[in-house]
Amino acid sequence: MPPRPAVLTKRTLDKDLDKITHAEDVAKHVLRRLVAPGLGLIFVGLAMLFAGVYVFDRPGAMLVVAAAALAGYMAMNIGANDVTNNVGAAVGARAMTMGQALVIAAIFEILGATIAGGEVVRTISSNIVDAVQVPPVLLGWIMMAALMAAALWINLATWMNAPVSTTHAIVGAVIGAGISAVGPEPVNWRVMLEITSSWITSPLIGGLIAAGLLYLVKTLIIYREDKIAAAQRWVPVLVAVMAGGFMAYMVLQLSPPGRLPPLTVLLIGIGIGLVSWLAARPLVLAQARALENRNSSLRTLFRLPLIGSAALLSFAHGANDVSNAVGPLSAIVHSVGIGGGGIGHPPLWVMLIGAFGISVGLLLFGPRLIRLVGEEITKLNPMRAYCVALSTAFTVIVASWLGLPVSTTHIAVGSVFGVGFFREWYTRHSKRRIAYIRRKAESFDIDEPEEPNIHETRRRYLVRRSHFMTIIAAWIVTVPVSAALAAMIYWVMFALFV
């Protein structure tokens, strides 16, 4: 009996169409994961073209173009890894959406890098390894090896969700490549001692400032009878302090050294603070209308200062951490005789590569780590997040003003620890808090409430303490690993190209 011919029924056609649809969905999913790396590769190519426009007719142009590609790659890794310190707290506290956070951070990263990033770039490019004692050709290859080693290590650490410091990585890489090239003599160990001491003291300072800010917020606002009235009075003051301090720093950065006396700078900061207070007061009063006298209502009123502190922290991060990418590039540019003003003065186009690279890395790869730090490591409300962000911003700004390449990651974590430890102490010892709880209990005619669940409180803070050990381990590992990797890369480069 001959076989029956196949009949294409509607059911068979639907199955075939479903298979095609599923295949298209899989292809789109795979391609979507390649979009960010593809755009990153395009940016690296644009950085090479951008550098080539300035150096195409100069000797050593190929070395500079290759270094520009590595600097752009390094800058994107910085943006992907360190972005959590800028806006993670604000996103975790629900003060802004992910899209808003990315846009604000990208804009202020560029402004901070281009306006105030020069001092730290000078430290990375010429002060760690004494450029005077190293031949220009060797200095260029030292910085190339350092850039490649630091970028590879940060990329690996970001992929593993490891909390490493980009500053530690580049400083360790410069030392490792420098020692492998010319020995330990040209390494400026006094500068290294200053940098290392700042790595230790800056998290402590950030933690103390954050704890002090939270103490003021709790004392002046949270544990007052009329919280909304207290917030109407003090939130504009916090905004004024933030704006005045930032403007004083900007005046110091933009004016020639010694041009303005300290009293003038102080008066400018106070004037800007008063203007900011006058501008913020009606906004806070409008937000406070119809709000209930509850802690949850304070989140609405702290949204404005928290967004401001996140923007300020992004500016500070751009000013400090852009050096990790463009410091070695600046040294390479001057080692081949391009640029003016000495090795410690980076050209504007060099700063732009680092500034835009950080923002590109932030926009392409930042959201995953923002969620990790802002929502999973510790629970933050807008008040605590504001204290962490403002403390970190001011500490990084002061370090940038002094030319010290500090770790933004460690300062932010130190600020979180400061807030956490202070909350422990305040919960157990504050007379104002205890009196406030008793008044609340009396107003509702109930027995005096017991102390909060100590086990739960300790469990929450132990999450923060566990991250302390992780950060210390990453600190210990990053410098020697990046130094060893840079030394190996330098030997390979020297054998192949020199």
Residues 65 and 55: their CA atoms lie apart, in Å, by 8
CA 396 to chain centre: 10
CA separation for the pair 498, 137 (Å, rounded): 9
Q: What is the pLDDT of residue 489?
A: 93
Answer yes or no: is pLDDT of 420 > 50.
Answer: yes
Residue 187: phi and psi, rounded to 5, are -70, 125
Split at pLDDT 50, 70, 90, the class of 11 is low
Q: What is the mean pLDDT of the segment spanning 409-431?
A: 77
pLDDT(254) > 80:
no
Q: Is 447 left (phi over 0), alpha (psi -120 to 50) or beta?
A: beta
386 Cβ contact list (under 8 Å, min separation 6): 213, 217, 238, 302, 305, 306, 309
Token output for 22? 């599923």
Q: What is the pLDDT of residue 51?
A: 86
The Cα–Cα gap between 450 and 437 comes to 10
- With a CB cutoff of 8 Å and minimum separation 6, the contacts of 88 are 369, 370, 372, 373, 374
211 compared with 290, residue with greater pLDDT:
211
**pLDDT at residue 314 in the model:** 83
Q: What pLDDT is stored for residue 295 in this prediction?
A: 78
Kindly report the average pLDDT of the chain as a whole number: 76
pLDDT, tens digit (0-9, with 9 covering 90-100), for 338-381: 655 455 567 888 888 888 888 888 788 766 656 555 554 556 67
List, for residues 172-202, the tens digit of each pLDDT value: 898 898 888 888 887 778 777 877 787 778 8
At residue 218, does pLDDT exceed 80? Answer: yes
Strands (E), 18-139: none
Centroid of chain to Cα 382: 18
Residue 461 is predicted with a pLDDT of 45
What percent of the chain is helix, strand and coil (3-state, nearest 5)?
80, 0, 20
> Given this model, what pLDDT does residue 462 score?
37
Cα–Cα distance, 140 to 484 (Å, whole number): 18
Within 8 A by CB and 6+ apart from 277, the residues are 236, 237, 239, 240
pLDDT in tens, 452-495: 444 444 444 434 556 667 667 777 788 889 999 999 999 998 88
- Which residue do the tokens 């950085």 mark? 47
Whether 213 shows a pLDDT value over 80: the answer reads yes
336 or 111, higher pLDDT: 111
CB 144 within 8 A of CB 329: no
Q: Which residues contact 235 (CB under 8 A, 6 or more apart)?
A: 221, 280, 284, 301, 302, 304, 305
In 3D space, the residue among 101, 102, 105 whose CA is nearest the CA of residue 90 turns out to be 101
Query: In the prediction, which pLDDT does 486 show?
Result: 92
Q: What are 170's two structure tokens? A: 């580049």
Give the separation between CA 369 and CA 375, rounded to whole angstroms. Answer: 10
pLDDT reported for residue 484: 93
Which region among 60-69, 109-118, 401-410 has the lowest average model confidence (pLDDT)?
A: 401-410
> Are 73 and 151 spatial neighbours (Cβ–Cβ below 8 Å)?
yes
| Cβ contacts of 251 within 8 Å, gap of 6 or more | 260, 265, 268, 269
d(CA 232, CA 223) in angstroms, rounded, equals 14
Among residues 121, 118, 89, 119, the alpha carbon closest in space to that of 104 is found at: 89
What distance in Å separates the CA atoms of residue 358 and residue 356, rounded to the nearest whole number?
Answer: 5
Q: Is 328 exposed, middle or buried (0-12, 13-18, 19+ CB in 10 A)?
A: buried
Residue 149 predicted with pLDDT over 90? yes
pTM (predicted TM-score): 0.74
Least confident of 147-161, 243-257, 258-272, 281-295: 243-257
**Rounded Cα gap, residues 188 and 415, in angstroms:** 30
Q: What is the pLDDT of residue 447?
A: 45
Q: Quote the pLDDT of residue 437.
A: 61
For residue 210, give Cα distances in angstroms to 7, 125, 412, 414.
Answer: 75, 32, 10, 9
| Residue 414: band (very low, low, confident or very high) from pLDDT cuts 50, 70, 90 | confident
CB of 66 closer than 8 Å to CB of 37 = no
Owner of token pair 């972005």: 83
CB–CB of 416/373 below 8 Å? no
Residue 395 corresponds to which tokens in the numbers above? 């500490």
Q: By the 8 A CB rule, do 403 and 120 touch?
A: yes
Residue 129, beta-bridge partner list: 187
